[in-house]
Amino acid sequence: MKHVVIIGGGFAGVNLAEALGKSRQFEVTLVDRNNYNFFPPLLYQVATGFLDVSNISYPFRKLFRQYTNVNFRLGEFHEVIPAEKKVILSTGTLTYDYLVFSTGAASNFFGMQNVQHHSLPMKTINDAIELRNHFLQHLEAATLTTDPAERDKLLTIVVAGGGPTGVELAGMMAELRKEVVPKDYPELSGKGYPSHIILVDGSGKVLSPMSVASQQYTHDKLVEMGVELILGVTVKDFVNETVILSNGQNIPTKSLIWAAGVTAVLPKGIAPEVAGRAKRMQVDAFNVINGQTDIYAIGDTCIQTSDPAFPQGHPQLAQVAIQQGKLLAKNLAAREKGQPQQPFIYTDKGSLAIIGRNKAVADLNHPTFHLKGFIAWFIWIFVHLAGLINYRNRLKTLFNWMLAYFRRDQSLRMIIRPKGEDGKLE
């Protein structure tokens, strides 16, 4: 059995491991820094208290229990030594016949150190919990302060990035402001509340990859919900509790949520010239990293320009990662048998974004097939439930969504922090 080592347990890595787990040709080791898989498109719902962490995550060891040839290794990737077919981890060393990077992408702060150190990204479970704690603690602090300027900074939220994550966060915050906060925090009534929710994007429009109809509907609904849009402008700095914009405008706030871009991380041991746009590893039509023979990259961490419909590379979406993971499993099996391999061609199933209750947009298959409102919202619900990793997660998430929908409320607003290094709660 050939040994396949997979670095990263996101959409791409899990789909590859599960597909290889059904074959007796391979022994598989999946490596991840966490011991669980999670569903990134719903991180913002954990951050806003509409879902619990367990709704969108599942332990790897339980997930792979049914596959006798799939193993899990908890650890951080440190380096690959291609000449020795060896991977060095924080928890030991592995040798491989085939190595696959599916490490996803990290937040791109475009070299702005203050933004990186003081803003709130939305890429991991830890990020979502931190944002929830931050939001709730600032609401509590706002009920205590007697300084109107301080209260305004506590209650003002700036979201940088008008893509799906930024739009969904801004919309959810607006709904919380309308439906939940007045009930939980009556002390804020008449004291400068409601707060400012400001969405900033440099492209001049929200949801720029989607259709014009989806962009316009989203723009109108966000404004209707009270979200303040500042478009065609970028964040330049975040210093002294002030967001500084490229047009010279300053926004006093303690909360900058960063959803303005992502970048890959080039693994140590891979030649620097392999890095393409946003540090994504350049791969051929079969996802082999340029200059390598047995090392692959799939999902957000790679850029592939061989697909005729996507000469600039595929969008960094879950569907791309899923389809690449499944096809690579077939190609590895074909390679072992000496059979022809299939080049990757992305099947675009469309794009979805939710704005709020009964408000969503959908561009399905053909760019002119556009849906909005309740029907798009319902499709979004169905697609995201189907994307969760097992039936337990789907049922728990559906139950939470049903309660939140009919009650216009949820009960997951707990501030939960681990112990700090001094042994005291932070």
User: Which residues are the active-site residues?
Assistant: 168
Q: What is the 3-state secondary structure (H, E, C) of 42-54?
A: HHHHHHCCCCCHH
DSSP per-residue letters across 277-310: GGGPEEE-TT-BBTT-SSEEE-GGGEEE--STT-
Tokens standing for residue 170: 């801004």
Coil, strand or helix at 176? helix
Distances (CA, A) of 195 to 90, 121, 134, 139, 153: 44, 21, 15, 10, 9
Strands 302-304 and 351-356: unpaired
> Rounded CA gap, 105 and 275, in Å?
13
2 touches 336 (CB < 8 A): yes
Establish how many alpha carbons lie within 13 A of residue 330's alpha carbon, considering only the half-sphere containing its beta carbon: 12
User: Any idea what the Cα angle at residue 315 is, between residues 312 and 318, rounded to 5°?
Assistant: 150
> Rounded CA gap, 167 and 393, in Å?
24
